[in-house]
Amino acid sequence: MPTNPTLHRAALATALLALAAGAAAQPSKWPDITWLFTSFQGRGDGLHLSASADGKAWTDLGKVFLKPSVGSGLMRDPHILRGPDGVFRMVWTTGWKDKGIGYAASTDLVNWSAQRYLPVFGKTAGATDAWAPETFYDEAGQQYVITVSSDIDDRFPATKSDERMNHRTYYVTTKDFVTFSEPALFLDPGFDHIDTTVVRDGARYIAVFKEGDRQKSGKWGAIRWAVADSALGPYRLMPEPIVSGLRAEGPTLYTQDGKTTLLVDFYAEKRYGAFETTDWKGWADVSARVAVANGQRHGTVLAVPAWLARDIATRTPAAEAAAPKPAPPAILEGFTADPSIRLFGDTYYIYPTSDKPNWQTTDFSVWSSKNLVDWKKERMILDVANDLKWASVEAWAPDVIERNGTYYLYFCAQGNIGVATSKSPTGPFVDALGKPLVARGTGVQTNTIDPYPFIDDDGQAYLYYGNGKLANVYKLKPDMVTLDGPVHTIALRDHREAPVVFKRSGKYYFMWSIDDARSPDYRVGWGVADSPLGPVRSPQRDFIVLQRNGPAVATAHHSVVNVPGTDRWYAAYHRHALPQGNGYQRQTVLAKMEFTPDGAIRPMDPMTVPFRPGDVGEPVANGRAVAPAATGR
């Protein structure tokens, strides 16, 4: 009976929703992760995927996600890496005797770029094959490394034998998957081997691989490992194998909750085995507790956000996707969120939340830039755990404004809004009141988080904040640390949190975040008002001005800055970190914000860089822009 594709997709979606629910129940440091297992079946029919919430019980997603069309037309040993730009890059074995490998890229694992054949050993005399390619990212070299096994004639004659092949692991490097280095030797442990996979373990790199079989003698090669201090080696062979005496190949590894799991393909038995370690010294056979989907062959495991795994089941691929566009790089190091961007004097500053597990952040830091391009971390400006008497954790969404030579830091801590002061934009800041400025529970239909200070042209200061259906605003007295009168509520369309207010051409622009910060659909809406207290009018068209695109998701909780003397504006916002981030691992990114002739905010594309490489950015001197800026559009 023919399969009903609608029912099939619905079943997959239900299965993945169950997986996601299971993932959320796990005591994981970074929740909301689903594990994916890439594999082939049969002789190499194409990319198969299975999913797991816990890395133990796997569900086959039930279809071929990409059928091979290059080289000899096979897809064996598919390996997928998500790079720091958010693009998934897959390499695979295209045939038993091909001298190159297959390559395709995707941002969603459903729509793939045109397949390409990479002739890795095309110019290498004596190369007989190219097996089991894998890719990893070399952070020190800022490059991708592709490892691949090959038996090259007249190399390593000491280990040549009639009953085994003579493979070694080689590598090429690339920054763009367009130009590649010449192949070079990656690993020679002194014997034939295949199926090398490389993982990072703290400061060291570990290569795990299969020693060659001696099939005529019935001697099966062990799964062995070697260690290096840098990505490209040299690698030192460890004396004890991980698995020996068994017909195992295709090792793949993943780590969760302090335990590293090794999966190996028991190819003769048509099943997978699993081994587990906490220290790389002793390995326990946990095969009875791991149920890999039937039919899987030589796969690799990667972690993806649970929402992405759910999307895989419901999205229909296009005929052929264009080459994926990489996401712009983050502008601040590490995991940061809720960025407030300000210009004081001739220096730009960003005050973000420093992401910690489950949002349990305890301190604030500041970054500075002279041009919006080059950023450096200055210092910690407030340590909530030690500098406050009324809160110790949940330090979120800071913002700073200057008045009469004093800098005022407004921030969240344990559901309250506090204020601290300093004579410098880089702090340190001192708690101004010894208590919250706006205490938890005093809001009107809103939670007391995400403060945003604004000083109008007449000198009146306002403090906007809120998480909920409405935004709140207090007037502030001239001392900036005293509330002036009752709270006002402002209705904002689909408001969730993080209100932002600025003035342009006599109008008050309101912007705010919609949806949950953990959702990939976290986004920014806007409206305009004639008063800082509203009412706010939102447009019917282009109401959403910043939202997910490609690998850039959860693009919101932003702030804006104007380059003085111009009508050039920029928005600093956060997204889920790439490659493996979620609502607790985020990155700060910059976008150029533009307006239509009638004053509407144009939608911003989170996949567009604000500056091209080599641009000078937006330097400021004596209160005005130094020169027109070139943009990356």
Q: What's the CA gap between 557 and 589, in Å, rounded?
A: 11
Beta bridge mates, 274: 263
Contacts of 520 (CB under 8 A, 6+ apart): 305, 307, 308, 548, 553, 554, 576
Contact between 524 and 555 under an 8 Å Cβ cutoff? The reply is yes
Query: Which run of H or of E encompasses 271?
Result: strand 271-277
Output the 3-class SS for 125-157: CCECCCEEEEEEEECCCCEEEEEEEECECCCCH
3-state secondary structure of 19: helix
Judged on CB neighbours under 10 Å (0-12, 13-18, 19+), 396 is buried
DSSP 223-268: EEEEEESSTT---EE-SS-SB-SS--EEEEEEEETTEEEEEEEETT
Q: What's the CA gap between 573 and 148, in Å, rounded?
A: 39
Give the active site residue among 151, 338, 387, 450.
Answer: 338
Contact between 87 and 109 under an 8 Å Cβ cutoff? The reply is no
Please report, to the nearest 10 degrees, the dihedral formed by the alpha carbons of residues 245, 248, 251, 257 taken in order: -70
Q: What's the CA gap between 553 and 497, in Å, rounded?
A: 17
3-state secondary structure of 358: helix
Beta bridge mates, 497: 467, 513
Q: What's the CA gap between 76 and 70, in Å, rounded?
A: 12
Sheet arrangement for strand 395-403: 395-403, 406-413, 416-422, 430-431
Active site residue 338: yes
Contacts of 463 (CB under 8 A, 6+ apart): 410, 417, 437, 438, 451, 452, 453, 454, 473, 474, 476, 483
Contact between 546 and 560 under an 8 Å Cβ cutoff? The reply is no
Contacts of 539 (CB under 8 A, 6+ apart): 526, 527, 600
Q: What's the CA gap between 45 and 92, in Å, rounded?
A: 12
> Residue 23 phi/psi, 5° resolution?
-65, -40
Half-sphere exposure of 314 (CA within 13 A, CB side): 11
Q: What's the CA gap between 179 and 632, in Å, rounded?
A: 23
Give the active site residue among 431, 497, 605, 618.
Answer: 497
Active site residue 163: no
Q: What's the CA gap between 339 and 15, in Å, rounded?
A: 37
3-state secondary structure of 5: helix
3-state secondary structure of 336: strand
Tell me the CA end-to-end span of the chain in Å, nearest whole number: 51
Question: Which residues are known to be catalytic?
Answer: 338, 497
